[in-house]
Homo-oligomer: A and B are copies of this chain.
Amino acid sequence: MPELRKDPVIGRWVIIAVERSRRPKGFKAPSHKDTEEDCPFCEGKEDQTPHEIFAIRKEGSTPDKPGWDTRVVPSKRPFLRVEGSINRHGRGLYDVMSGIGAHEVIIETPKHIGNIADLEETQIAKTVTCWIDRFVDLGRDERFKYVLVFKNYGVAAGAGHVKHSRSQLIATPVTPKRVKEELIGSKKYYEYHERCVFCDLVHQEIESKDRIVLDFDGFIAVTAFASRFPFEVWILPKEHNCDFSSMGVEKRLYLGKVLKKVLTKLKVALDDPAYNIVLHTAPFRRKKAKTGYWTTIEDDYHWHIEIIPRLGSTAGFEWGTGFYICPITPEDAAQYLREVEE
């Protein structure tokens, strides 16, 4: 059973994934080639994955058989385990929790295509629908506080060697540190200004235009003002909303469009870079009486997507300090991305 452990000083929870343990010499990723025949995520290979949890399928098709557009399956090597109850305990001064959670893989296309940027907008919108469906479903499980939806593209971003386009989600019994910090920060801003900090950011970015990469269909894509990394791009809905999963069908298509455009721009500008995508949305809110679940629409948080291209080994001491050095201005990066033909 994996274990959640809390840093006793700064309070960050980490997953110690004991069942994935490898001998020290085995930390380099195996260098096997990516071939379509060996890919377990292609249509027709459904027997090579665990049973599907959710899928968008053609009418009349059967679960775990061909005929799907997008498909969600449990991870074969999960970071966290679904079975069991949350057992918080101390180990001397340290805090520990059993590694309860869910770890799922969203297969974004039946075809052997690597980069989500190369899928149709409508196909990307179906991926968004998968994220939302799983988010809502996992929210019904009272043990979970958060669902982390993310995507690693390219080996340098932590992806495996099989290139078939997919994203992942982890449902956790704790709120990730970065999300908690954002919640606290945006609440403080709201308390002072009585306005959402992200709404203010959207307005200011639209007005100044300096960091705008795209602005259409209810979304903006901007390079972050205090970028940690070159070409760090945030996608935000222009209208206030804390809850990603409340997005309607039409908006999902618009988001698919924006994601395709931004990721294609990055692909062209940076020569198909590795990247990470992380969805930031409000944690599940729970009724204290345990009469069910609901998420409230908060005034002080605003969901968004962060895209971080992984360009070379720019990161050194940043890991240990939280102090980042970005070697290119976000304004130059935005201008470059605006000019790139997608």
Contact surface of A with B, Cβ cutoff 8 Å: 5-18, 20-22, 24-25, 27-29, 79, 92-94, 148, 150-152, 155-159, 168, 170, 172, 176-179, 181-182, 184-186, 189, 197-198, 200-201, 204, 208, 224-231, 269-271, 276, 278, 306, 308, 311-330, 332-333, 336
Contact = CB atoms under 8 A, between A and B. Distances in A.
14 contacts: A10-B185, A14-B228, A15-B324, A16-B329, A17-B326, A21-B327, A24-B336, A27-B311, A155-B313, A157-B313, A158-B317, A177-B322, A181-B322, A228-B319
A308 B324 contact: no
How many copies the complex holds: the figure is 2
A189 B9 contact: yes
A191 to B, nearest CB: 14
A24 B269 CA distance: 7
A16 B334 CA distance: 14
Contact of A14 (B25, B28, B170, B323): B323
A interface: dominant SS: mixed
Given A155-B313, A159-B316, A148 B321 contact: yes
Nearest to A21: B328
